[in-house]
Amino acid sequence: MSTESTLVDIAIHLKESFEARETALHRELHELEARRSAIHADLKLAADASGRLGKYQPKVSGEYKCPYCWMQREQRPPLYPIGGGTRHEDYFRCSECNREITVES
Query: What does the pLDDT read at residue 44?
Result: 94
For residues 47 and 67, membership in a common domain is answered with no
For residues 100 and 66, membership in a common domain is answered with yes
For residues 88 and 103, membership in a common domain is answered with yes
- The residue ranges of DSSP E strands in 5-88, in sequence order, are 59-60, 63-64, 79-81
pLDDT at residue 28 is higher than 80? yes
Query: What does the pLDDT read at residue 74?
Result: 94
For residues 33 and 66, membership in a common domain is answered with no
Average pLDDT rounded to a whole number, residues 12-27 = 95
For residues 25 and 49, membership in a common domain is answered with yes
Query: What does the pLDDT read at residue 102?
Result: 94
- pLDDT per residue as tens digits for the range 30-51: 999 999 999 999 999 999 999 9
For residues 99 and 69, membership in a common domain is answered with yes
For residues 35 and 71, membership in a common domain is answered with no
Domain of 10?
1-55
pLDDT at residue 92 is higher than 80? yes
For residues 35 and 61, membership in a common domain is answered with no
Give the amino acid at 53. Answer: L
Choose among 58, 54, 52: nearest CA to 71: 52
Domain count, the chain: 2
Radius of gyration (C-alpha) of the chain in whole angstroms: 28
Residues facing residue 92 across a β-bridge: 81, 101
For residues 12 and 61, membership in a common domain is answered with no
Distance CA(17)–CA(78), nearest Å, equals 56
Lowest-confidence segment of 27-31, 78-82, 85-89, 93-97 by average pLDDT: 85-89
Average pLDDT rounded to a whole number, residues 88-100 = 95
For residues 63 and 48, membership in a common domain is answered with no
